[in-house]
Structure 1
Amino acid sequence: MPGALPISAYVVLGLLDRHDGATPYQLDQRIRESIGYFWSFPRSQLYEEAGRLVRRGLVVERQEEGGRRRRTLSLTAEGRHELRQWLTTPTRATTEIHDEGLLRLYFQPLGPAEGDADGAPVEGGSAVVRLAAEQIEAHEARLAEYERLVASGRPLPGSPQRATLEVGLRFEQMIIGFWRQIAASPANPPGGALGA
């Protein structure tokens, strides 16, 4: 039954569908160059999930007899079938946002400020302005990275992978605009008062 596996399993199955015969290290590199931009996937989870999929018979592991004794992973027919079932099963999943900048903004104190991390007094709104400046810088760097990917021709225009990159571009442009509004008016951010 599709969906019986955790999403992390489908990440590994999907990667192996594209990069059959890859080592866990190579899969980790692929994650960093692709889905890692929108789906956090720690290396330790990759190794654990690969082991579980081998035990379930959805992935085959081969180990070199000599040299570095690297492990390579390949999909079995059952693994490929499970992936196809998951890809074609309807989903009602929604986007989850895990953004530390937004979390810090949410917990900013209302009214005149208290002290900074060292206890020094902070003018009302200056902590928010500083946070906004940091976030603008971070998101502009990510936007520039996405723009470099587009300029490189990777992923190919018109591909599903390019569509996910387009979402990243649009998100970064939107969130940079949001943080610029915050920086311009920390006492009256978009949507009303902080902490409401």
Structure 2
Amino acid sequence: MAIMSSVIARFFELPKSIPLLCSADDRFQINLSRRYRPAIVPLRLLLIGSCALLAMGICWNVRQAILTYQESLTLQAELDRVRQQDLDLIAEARHEGMDLSEEALKRLPSEVELANQLLEKRTFSWTKFLTELEQTIPSRLALSSVRLDQAGTMVRLMGTAMSLEDITAFTVRLQDHATFKDPILAQHRVGPNGLVEFDVTLQYRREGT
């Protein structure tokens, strides 16, 4: 028992005899004081500039959004005004007995075209047309049919000639005339009587066209 007590006493006295390995000057230290670092200055300026540009971009986007919203309000007000004018016009037309329904508006272009064709036919001068056409007919050629389309610009001529050369001379005269253009010999054939039957189409230049 005395031996055990002696061993324990020596064990507790052992640390007191071991010298300190590290002095007070060799301890780990961290300096938390402010320190100037020149290498970080460009990065700091770049960060500040980026933040400034980002703030300017946000302000510009907000301004554009406000302007767009104001323009949309203006357009909506104009659209409402136009719609109201349309409603007033339809109401006035109905009061006057006019039909402005969707079906009537779809028929309007064809009716206008028909009216224009009727006006053109009323102003078309057959006397002037036949007089100018007669100036181009050779003596050895005779016309049997003269047809115009509804617009009065496309002409189809049918007739007979003594020879193919007479038909060629006829088309040349038509081409040289100031009123006619683009004569085309659609077909020709020799008839039972020996005359050459032909079919010519051309365009008629009316006054004002």
**TM-score interval for Structure 1 and Structure 2 normalised by the shorter chain:** under 0.3
Answer 1 or 2: which has greater strand percent.
2
Question: Which has the greater radius of gyration?
Answer: 2
- Give the alignment's TM-score, normalised by structure 1: 0.20
